[in-house]
Structure 1
């Protein structure tokens, strides 16, 4: 999920871009914009950077295990052929 602080920052930037006269009529616009952004981002199919990094580490460990297993199989096959 998107970092809530980043979401607040985007909402604040949008709110800051609204002219002061309009802000008087749009009290609470920042929270409304944040809610709309959060709602729309939740509908997107993406993972957070944290989730991506975790899955990347899992993949690296899996690859390392695969390489070790392939080497072990090669050793066993070599040993079997020489027997």
Structure 2
């Protein structure tokens, strides 16, 4: 969810960038801009920075676990291959 303070700040920046005649319409313009921005951001299905960082940490942990499992699998495969080689020699 978008922080309401940031949304208000963004709406204010958009209002300030409008031509002088429209800008003087006041709070109604800023409220309408804020409403349009809020609706558009809601459609975008955005995630918060906190959620993004949490997912990034989870991904890094998962990748680390996968690397450990791959090493373990390679080790087990080596043991099996070695055992097979020994059996065929005898």
**TM > 0.5:** yes
Which structure has the bigger radius of gyration? 2
Question: Does the residue aligned with 1:64 lie in a helix, a strand or coil?
Answer: helix
- Pairwise CA RMSD of aligned residues? 2.4
Alpha carbons 2:23, 2:29 under 8 Å: kept: no
1:42-79 CA distance string (max 9 Å, x none): 11243333222221111111100000000011111112
Alpha carbons 2:16, 2:23 under 8 Å: kept: no
Alpha carbons 2:11, 2:33 under 8 Å: kept: yes
Q: Residues 7, 82 of structure 1: CA spacing in aligned structure 2 closer, same or farther, 3 A cutoff?
A: same
Question: Structure 2: which 5+ residue stretches go unaligned?
Answer: 84-90
What is the TM-score when the length of structure 1 is the normalising length?
0.73
Q: Residues 21, 14 of structure 1: CA spacing in aligned structure 2 closer, same or farther, 3 A cutoff?
A: closer
What is the TM-score when the length of structure 2 is the normalising length?
0.68
Q: Distance in 1 between matches of 2:22 and 2:71?
A: 71
Using CA pairs below 8 Å that are at least 6 residues apart, which structure has the higher relative contact order?
Answer: 1
**How many residues are aligned here?**
82
Could you say which residue in structure 1 is the equivalent of 2:52? Answer: 52
Question: Structure 1: which 5+ residue stretches go unaligned?
Answer: none
